[in-house]
Structure 1
Amino acid sequence: GLRGTLLAGPDATLAAVRRGLLAGAGLLASEQLGVAEWCLTETVSYTRERKQFNRPVGSFQALKHRMAQLWLEVVSARAAARNAADALATGSPEAPLAASVAQAYCARVAVHAAEECVQLHGGIGMTWEHPAHLYLKRAKSAQIALGSAGEHRAGIAGLVDLQAP
């Protein structure tokens, strides 16, 4: 018969899988940041060109506020994603916390940015001719790919000794 060689026991195996999932979650936050940045850039560009009532729709106060809010979220997501990437790259003991914070935050920002991109592009945002719907699908699938935001928040609570919400 075939013989196998045990490479690692259950504890070492669990630790290796956890490290892999942690690195994946931390790096996925950078991808989610990229999705959010693309969506914001495309939306700002489109609303500058698209006219309604003889004015660019981006000049309407309500849309300015929505894009300003999104910009603030993207800036914060950038800080969280970069912090996670740095913690992972340097082997920081804070890496589990940084990755969970980044994942809990960046997942939501990517979805919000993609939803705004689709909505503010109007009808064309939902067509096959425009990639906005692809970014929304990617943001939604990435949102749960390596743990939901709720799971990451529960992990954060455990790491900093707080009661989970």
Structure 2
Amino acid sequence: MKLIVGLGNPGRKYKKTRHNIGFQTIDALLERHGWKLNNSKFHGDYAIEHFNGEKIMLLQPQTYMNLSGESIRPLMDYYQIETDDVVVIYDDLDLPAGRIRLRQKGGHGGHNGVRSTINHLGTKEFKRVRLGVGRPANATPVIDYVLGKFPKEEQKAVEQSIQDAADAIETWAEGKPFIEVMNDFNH
């Protein structure tokens, strides 16, 4: 089984914020296929579906961003999912809004959701899909910036990056090696 994790914060007030672009990518995949997050366990809402003959799990941790690993690790253990079959989708300040970057491994880059995931998985070697949100242009504190919504002029590019990320996830779930998916989708 492949585990596709979108990082974000639960609750209505965070729904369209920069920090929730991982949740938005999971939502895009759910919408494409008419799936629903119909399971709640281990501090997460998830769906188990079949895609192209492969079992996949789509997860939105409900722990708040900083504790994301507390949902991911127990689900991996319970369903016996290997780290090699996990991809984590999240916002990245170092990429401009609308850009995506796939990586096979890496550090947390100051992202607390990724830090929690690394701590609970005990490794930095899990697949990632990073979606650009850019950096604040003025003295806006980072926390206020990531918990803010995208301005109107960025929304089209952001929506396209979410769709591109969903395409990349589907390509990987169809069995294409992640390194090849990276070559196809990094932009």
Q: Same fold judged by TM-score > 0.5?
A: no
Q: Which has the higher strand share?
A: 2
Q: With the length of structure 1 as denominator, give the TM-score of the two structures.
A: 0.28
